[in-house]
């Protein structure tokens, strides 16, 4: 398989108990190059989710790895975005506590295509076209592996896994795309979509490097209001978004960036802007000041 394995070290691996993460755990454990902390987040969305937790704990015992879990009790009706935010908050906390190098997830090629289609339907910006890539704190070794390859691997190595009953609920857009759309996309079409994502990722890297030059290295949580006001609105939005990401704030959408940028250009000094309860931006005459909200 065409794996992109991270360098040896200590990692937190997200294991749901499904076939994807079970395969990933088996692959990494067999290399002998990693110290792994198996991390399981029980969203509490399904009534039988505790069974998955017990299954993953047994897996950790089997592979002789550390195990840590958390129960979210999010309840039925929780959106995919809410569940993802809660899960990654837990995973990042585990990385911090265990002083690990990064999180490892089992996202694969089919996940990339599904996410692209979802983002296009919802009206994505440039970053949504190159979604689900690796970052410094999240490693994704399976991005070039298809779901079918993982199924074949699991069968070849006699692996066991659990099935999430919500994965067949087509009320979730991702499931509808997975079950109804992806099977109708042939290999040539898949290759075109992957090529599109790869090209956009390269473009994004170049654009981010250019935009970052507007943010002085010594400013940190300050950003020049004059610089923002000197740029057209589209470029101003990109600058504000880059500034937030530079301060480790990622959970925002394009509507939030539009709201913040418009406020920066029009509101009086002293105005405070909330960013999803993660941070507070204070508009001053000459600059913006960012204060992270501790919770």
Where residue 172 sits, what CATH number does that domain have? 3.40.50.620
pLDDT surpasses 80 at 278:
no
Please tell me whether residues 171 and 262 are part of one structural domain.
no
Please tell me whether residues 36 and 171 are part of one structural domain.
yes
The model's pLDDT over 44-79, given as tens digits with 9 standing for 90+, comes to: 777 778 899 999 999 999 999 999 999 887 777 777
> Does residue 203 form part of some domain?
no
Please tell me whether residues 30 and 150 are part of one structural domain.
yes
> What pLDDT does residue 219 have?
54
> Does residue 208 form part of some domain?
no
In sequence order, which residues have a C-beta less than 8 Å from that of residue 185 and are 6 or more positions away?
A: 113, 193
Please tell me whether residues 218 and 267 are part of one structural domain.
yes
> Does residue 198 form part of some domain?
no
Please tell me whether residues 121 and 169 are part of one structural domain.
yes
> What pLDDT does residue 293 have?
61
Which of 74-78, 81-85, 278-282 has the lowest average pLDDT? Answer: 74-78
The total number of structural domains that make up the chain: 2
Cα–Cα distance list, 249 to 104, 114, 125 (Å): 20, 24, 17
Q: Where are the alpha helices (DSSP H) in 99-186?
A: 109-122, 126-129, 147-156, 173-176
Domain boundaries, position 232 = 214-292
> What pLDDT does residue 168 have?
86
| Nearest to 178, CA basis, from 129, 125, 113, 122 | 113
DSSP summary character for residue 6: P
The model's pLDDT over 144-191, given as tens digits with 9 standing for 90+, comes to: 999 999 999 999 999 999 988 778 888 888 999 999 999 999 999 999
Please tell me whether residues 153 and 257 are part of one structural domain.
no
Tell me which of 168, 184, 200 is where a domain ends.
Answer: 184
> What pLDDT does residue 148 have?
96
pLDDT, the chain, mean: 89
Alpha-carbon span 281 to 258, nearest angstrom:
14
> Does residue 100 form part of some domain?
yes
Please tell me whether residues 64 and 179 are part of one structural domain.
yes
- In the chain, the percentage of residues whose pLDDT exceeds 90 is 60
Mean pLDDT computed over 1-19: 94
Tell me which of 129, 162, 184 is where a domain ends.
Answer: 184
Please tell me whether residues 113 and 21 are part of one structural domain.
yes
> What pLDDT does residue 171 have?
85
Alpha-carbon span 38 to 227, nearest angstrom:
45
> What pLDDT does residue 218 have?
45
Do residues 164 and 175 make contact, with C-beta atoms less than 8 angstroms apart? no
In sequence order, which residues have a C-beta less than 8 Å from that of residue 264 and are 6 or more positions away?
A: 225, 228, 229, 236, 240, 283, 288
Please tell me whether residues 223 and 176 are part of one structural domain.
no
> Does residue 16 form part of some domain?
yes
> Does residue 196 form part of some domain?
no
* CATH code at position 265: 3.30.465.60
> What pLDDT does residue 217 have?
53
> Does residue 231 form part of some domain?
yes
Please tell me whether residues 169 and 226 are part of one structural domain.
no
Tell me which of 135, 169, 184 is where a domain ends.
Answer: 184
Whole-prediction pTM value? 0.81
> Does residue 195 form part of some domain?
no
Alpha-carbon span 101 to 104, nearest angstrom:
10
Alpha-carbon span 117 to 173, nearest angstrom:
10
Q: Which of 26-40, 121-135, 199-213, 219-233 has the highest mean pLDDT?
A: 26-40
The model's pLDDT over 197-243, given as tens digits with 9 standing for 90+, comes to: 999 999 988 888 888 777 765 456 788 898 999 999 998 999 998 88
Please tell me whether residues 14 and 156 are part of one structural domain.
yes
In sequence order, which residues have a C-beta less than 8 Å from that of residue 214 and are 6 or more positions away?
A: 224, 227, 239
Please tell me whether residues 57 and 174 are part of one structural domain.
yes
In sequence order, which residues have a C-beta less than 8 Å from that of residue 101 and are 6 or more positions away?
A: 6, 9, 10, 11
């Amino acid at each position: 398989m065409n794996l992109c394995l991270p360098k040896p070290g200590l990692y937190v691996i997200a294991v749901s108990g499904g076939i994807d993460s079970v395969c990933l755990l088996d692959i990494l454990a067999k290399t002998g190059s990693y110290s792994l902390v198996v991390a399981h987040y029980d969203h509490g969305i399904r009534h039988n989710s505790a069974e998955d937790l017990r299954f993953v704990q047994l897996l950790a015992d089997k592979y002789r790895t550390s195990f840590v879990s958390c129960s979210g009790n999010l309840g039925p009706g929780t959106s995919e975005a809410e569940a993802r935010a809660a899960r990654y908050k837990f995973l990042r906390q585990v990385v911090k506590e265990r002083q690990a190098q990064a999180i490892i997830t089992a996202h694969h090629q089919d996940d990339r295509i599904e996410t692209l289609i979802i983002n296009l339907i919802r009206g994505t910006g440039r970053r949504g076209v190159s979604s689900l890539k690796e970052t410094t704190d999240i490693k994704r070794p399976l991005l070039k592996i298809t779901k079918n390859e993982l199924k074949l691997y699991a069968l070849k190595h006699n692996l066991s896994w659990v099935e999430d009953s919500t994965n067949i609920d087509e009320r979730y857009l991702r499931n509808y795309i997975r079950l109804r759309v992806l099977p109708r996309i042939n290999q040539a079409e898949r290759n075109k979509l992957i090529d599109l994502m790869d090209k956009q990722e390269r473009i994004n890297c170049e654009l981010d490097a250019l935009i970052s030059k507007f943010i002085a290295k010594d400013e940190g949580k300050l950003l020049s209001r004059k610089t923002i006001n000197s740029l057209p609105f589209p470029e101003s939005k990109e600058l504000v978004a880059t500034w937030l990401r530079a301060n480790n704030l990622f959970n925002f959408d394009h509507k939030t960036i539009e709201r913040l940028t418009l406020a920066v250009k029009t509101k009086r000094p002293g105005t405070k802007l909330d960013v999803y309860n993660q941070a507070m931006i204070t508009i001053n005459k000459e600059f913006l000041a960012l204060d992270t909200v501790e919770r």
